[in-house]
Amino acid sequence: MLRSRRRRSFRFVLVAALAPLAVSCTSGPKLYPVKGQVFFGDKPTDGAQVVFHPATGSDLNARRPSGVVGPDGTFTLSTFAPNDGAPAGSYIVAIVWLPKDARADWKTTELKNRLPDKYADPTQSNLRAEVKPGENNLEPFRLTR
């Protein structure tokens, strides 16, 4: 009886010790730092939301790295935690720029995007980016009407 208790205790300790290894091995794809800039009419798009949509595959549950543009036009991508980067791959980039004090119109529940609608829709956006292993400093996105 004492021996079987020891075995159970040993198994429990062994499983508890190995659990973090299993989690770390399956925690998701390798992420790489990504920095970029967004300008509209040569002015920074302070507060714009940038979303990277995987260019291949149609997995609706796939993570979409995103970031918010700062006052100088720069952004960094986050996938699971702030500024942790993005998986390597090809992306279609969508950008929405709402006024800082934006509130939905109670009649239409629409928010006014300060950019042309094509930039907000990944099926119409002509913006592309490639994330490669290592640090990624992307060419600026220069948006026009």
Compute the residue count for the chain.
145
**Domain ranges across the chain:** 31-143
Cβ contacts of 36 within 8 Å, gap of 6 or more? 50, 67, 74, 75, 77, 129, 137, 138, 139, 140, 141
Q: Half-sphere exposure of residue 50, counting CA atoms within 13 Å on the CB side?
A: 33
Q: Report the relative pairing of strands 74-76 and 34-40 from DSSP bridges.
A: antiparallel
| Average pLDDT of the chain to the nearest whole number | 83
Is 84 in contact with 78 (CB distance < 8 Å)?
yes
Per-residue pLDDT, 8: 40
Q: Which residue has the higher pLDDT, 108 or 52?
A: 52
For 98-117, the DSSP string reads --TT----TTT-----SS-G
The CB-side HSE value for 63 (13 A sphere, CA atoms) comes to 19
Residue pair 110/5 in contact by the 8 Å Cβ criterion: no
Overall average pLDDT of the 56-77 stretch = 92
Q: How confident is the model at residue 83 (pLDDT cuts 50, 70, 90)?
A: very high
Cα dihedral across residues 115, 111, 63, 59: positive or negative: negative
Higher-confidence residue of 60 and 99: namely 99
Residue 23: its pLDDT value, please?
A: 38
Going by CATH, does the domain composed of 31-143 fall within 3.40.50.12160? Answer: no
